[in-house]
Chain A
Amino acid sequence: GQSLEQPSEVTAVEGAIVQINCTYQTSGFYGLSWYQQHDGGAPTFLSYNALDGLEETGRFSSFLSRSDSYGYLLLQELQMKDSASYFCAVNFGNEKLTFGTGTRLTIIP
Chain B
Amino acid sequence: EAGVVQSPRYKIIEKKQPVAFWCNPISGHNTLYWYLQNLGQGPELLIRYENEEAVDDSQLPKDRFSAERLKGVDSTLKIQPAELGDSAVYLCASSLVGSGRGEQYFGPGTRLTVT
Residues of A within 8 A of B (CB): 4, 8, 30-33, 41-45, 48, 50, 87, 89-91, 94-102, 104
Residues in A whose Cβ lies below 8 Å from that of B97 = 94-95
Say which one of B41-49, B64-72, B79-87 lies at the interface with A.
Answer: B41-49
B36 to chain A, nearest CB (A): 11
> Which among A48, A90, A102 is the interface contact of B103 at CB below 8 angstroms?
A48
Given A94-B50, A95-B95, A99-B43, A89–B107 Cβ distance below 8 Å? no
Whether B42 pairs with A42 at a CB distance below 8 angstroms is no
Residues of B within 8 A of A (CB): 3-4, 31, 40-45, 48, 50, 55-56, 91, 93, 95-109
Chain B residue with the shortest CB-CB distance to A90 = B102
Residues in A whose Cβ lies below 8 Å from that of B100 = 30, 50
A selection of 21 A-B contacts at a CB cut-off of 8 Å is A4-B42, A30-B102, A31-B102, A33-B102, A33-B103, A42-B108, A42-B109, A44-B106, A45-B101, A45-B103, A48-B102, A89-B102, A94-B31, A94-B55, A95-B31, A95-B95, A95-B99, A95-B103, A97-B45, A100-B42, A102-B41
